[in-house]
């Protein structure tokens, strides 16, 4: 989406009314609370001082009224495709993230986006936006124009020919933006590797490796720069947390242009499903700021962001319990789980999906389970350079334990 196309004059001081009650409520919550008003004003000032342009090169906001008005407009707007030369600093069609990006990394923003009242308002705003993105009106960006998601450049970048599409339809058969975003592969495009080998664990998502950490602790200072994992908080104090202490966390990142559905990494039984409310735009406070925030805070947000916890008891007793944890990032905080406790799953079976945007996920294993990870599952020094692993391909091999 081009924010310039909204014809909003950033910096306008006059009082405005909003089309969406969720935005009016957000403004009232922020402006009537002296602490939140202070933090909001400070984060905007600090962000603007850092860079007068947002990460997409548009003018950075420098007052609260403009922030609220932009959000009000975005709620009725589907993201446009950005040509490769315009993708610049890492954001592809994330309009709210682009507006808030520098604010998120400031000291004031660090506190503001952890606030429960702020996140309650953001939850309502994003749900209203999701309603629009689920509607037929959101297909207006599914076209072959320069910034349409069906233009030749987008079709190539998204490898759309691998997906179920209908080129005889003007929107390729998609009935909404979210229908397009959660598109499915054609049958046979992502075969499950070693389906009959219970020791082969497969990729749950189409993603690039971000981190692998062994000997994970129950409690650590997860807000530090190195962002250690703290299982108690990641798993929201789940009753099974103790089973994973000393185990392994594998984390991987899903690009906005890739497949956003989740599949089971093992054969087993769904033992528990839990949705955890949390933050939407929180990131670790460090300098320089993340130009595609909260990409550089992926380990941190596993403890504080909106997420789901899916516990799978593997049929292979040498693997035991596996936790699949999808984590929302920024606009992408809708974890749509389609399995429930007691369901049987095979490797590659559908577990659920994200709605809109880039996101991250973790697989958490009990101690002494992983023999080795596949070469492509080893993160690059800069995770942005990690190879994209196909969903259903081999992620790791489990140890065969002595009987």
pLDDT of residue 90: 45
Gap between the Cα atoms of 315 and 338, Å rounded: 20
Confidence of residue 4 (pLDDT cuts 50, 70, 90): very low
Q: Is the pLDDT of residue 350 over 80?
A: yes
Gap between the Cα atoms of 397 and 403, Å rounded: 18
Q: Is the pLDDT of residue 23 over 90?
A: yes
Indicate the DSSP class of residue 19: S
Confidence of residue 256 (pLDDT cuts 50, 70, 90): confident
Q: Is the pLDDT of residue 89 over 50?
A: no
Percent of the chain clearing pLDDT 90 (strictly above): 65
Q: Is the pLDDT of residue 13 over 50?
A: no
Q: Is the pLDDT of residue 384 over 80?
A: no
CA distances to 56, 194, 306, 310 from 368, rounded to whole Å, are 44, 22, 29, 21
| Pair 79, 99: CB distance under 8 Å | no
pLDDT of residue 9: 41
Gap between the Cα atoms of 335 and 157, Å rounded: 25
Q: Which residue has the tokens 């603007």?
A: 48
- The per-residue pLDDT for range 312-322, each reduced to its tens digit, is 999 999 999 99
Q: Which residue has the higher pLDDT, 4 or 77?
A: 77
Q: How many CB atoms lie within 10 A of CB 189?
A: 16
pTM of the model: 0.89
* Helices within 75-146 (DSSP H only): 84-87, 95-105, 107-112, 116-133
Percent of the chain clearing pLDDT 70 (strictly above): 89
pLDDT of residue 352: 95
pLDDT of residue 87: 52
The mean pLDDT of the chain is 88
- pLDDT mean over 368-392: 89
Q: Is the pLDDT of residue 140 over 70?
A: yes
| Fold of the domain built from segment(s) 200-398 | Glucose Permease (Domain IIA) (2.70.70)
- The per-residue pLDDT for range 174-214, each reduced to its tens digit, is 999 999 989 999 999 999 999 999 999 999 999 999 999 99
pLDDT of residue 88: 47
Task: Mean pLDDT check: name the lowest of 81-85, 133-137, 209-213, 388-392.
Answer: 81-85
Domain chopping of the chain, boundaries: 3-133, 136-175, 200-398
- The per-residue pLDDT for range 91-116, each reduced to its tens digit, is 556 788 888 889 988 999 999 999 99
* Token pair of 218 as six digits: 């129950």
Q: Is the pLDDT of residue 376 over 60?
A: yes
Task: Mean pLDDT check: name the lowest of 76-80, 265-269, 378-382.
Answer: 378-382
- pLDDT mean over 391-401: 95
| Pair 102, 47: CB distance under 8 Å | yes
Of 328, 279, 235, 330, the C-alpha closest to 115 is 279
């Amino acid at each position: 989406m081009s924010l310039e196309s909204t014809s909003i004059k950033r910096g306008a001081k006059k009082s405005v009314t909003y089309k969406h009650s969720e935005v009016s409520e957000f403004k009232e919550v922020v402006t009537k609370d002296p602490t939140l008003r202070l933090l909001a004003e400070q984060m905007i000032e600090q962000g603007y001082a850092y860079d007068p342009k947002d990460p997409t090169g548009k003018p950075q906001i420098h007052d609260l009224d403009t922030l609220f008005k932009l959000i009000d407009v975005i709620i009725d707007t589907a993201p446009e495709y950005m040509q490769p030369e315009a993708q610049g600093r890492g954001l592809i069609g994330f309009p709210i993230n682009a507006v808030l990006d520098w604010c998120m990394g400031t000291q004031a923003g660090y506190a503001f986006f952890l606030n429960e009242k702020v996140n309650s308002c953001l939850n309502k705003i994003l749900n209203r936006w999701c309603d629009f993105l689920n509607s037929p009106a959101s297909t207006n960006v599914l076209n072959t124009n320069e910034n349409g998601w069906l233009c030749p450049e987008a079709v190539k970048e998204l490898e759309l020919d691998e997906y179920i599409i209908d080129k005889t339809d003007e929107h390729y058969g998609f009935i909404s933006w979210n229908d397009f975003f959660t598109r499915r592969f054609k049958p046979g495009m992502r075969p499950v590797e070693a389906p009959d080998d219970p020791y082969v664990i497969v990729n749950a998502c189409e993603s690039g490796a971000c981190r692998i950490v062994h000997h994970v602790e129950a409690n650590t200072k997860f807000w530090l720069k190195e962002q250690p994992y703290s299982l108690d908080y990641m798993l929201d104090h789940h009753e099974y947390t103790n089973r994973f202490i000393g185990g392994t966390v594998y984390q991987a990142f899903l690009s906005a242009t890739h497949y956003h559905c989740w599949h089971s990494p093992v054969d087993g039984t769904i033992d528990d499903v839990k949705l955890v409310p949390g933050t939407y735009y929180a990131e670790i406070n460090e300098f320089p700021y993340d130009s595609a925030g909260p990409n550089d805070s992926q380990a941190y947000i596993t403890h504080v962001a909106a997420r789901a916890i899916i516990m799978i008891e593997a049929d292979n007793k040498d693997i035991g319990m596996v936790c699949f944890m999808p984590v929302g990032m920024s606009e992408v905080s809708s974890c749509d789980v389609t399995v429930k406790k007691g369901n049987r799953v095979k490797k590659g079976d559908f577990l659920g999906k994200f709605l809109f945007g880039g996101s991250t996920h973790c697989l958490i294993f009990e101690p002494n389970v992983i023999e080795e990870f596949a070469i492509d599952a080893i993160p690059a020094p800069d995770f942005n350079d990690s190879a994209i692993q196909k969903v259903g391909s081999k992620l790791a091999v489990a140890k065969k334990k002595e009987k």
